[in-house]
Structure 1
């Protein structure tokens, strides 16, 4: 899978708290989310736990096209 992403996503990947998030994990969440939510602005929030990251939940935000990654981070407040 070729990961499409926004410039915002590329910029935030440089942050220390985001550098440890592997692209393979993001791709996995996009392909097999355990939870999804359509935001009012048309963007999608997708979540899945990442076993390699101690089971923390990774949230991936996609643009309205459902393919382009806009954001990805470990969501400490998410409760399934």
Structure 2
């Protein structure tokens, strides 16, 4: 999974910046957010899934995944 930093999303537990990525599944992607150590607490969050049929490209899926991080503000 290629992780990208979401500067707008913060960990609920420790307040550190979160990184996100897409994990491939047969019908789409699972969105995963990670609070990476050493500055973070190591927690992982799964705010949702993105169906392949709902986006035109993987770049669009990453943009939707970034927007799902709004729940972690």
TM range (shorter): 0.3 to 0.5
More strand by share: 2
> TM-score, normalising length from structure 2?
0.41
Tell me the TM-score normalised to structure 1 length: 0.38
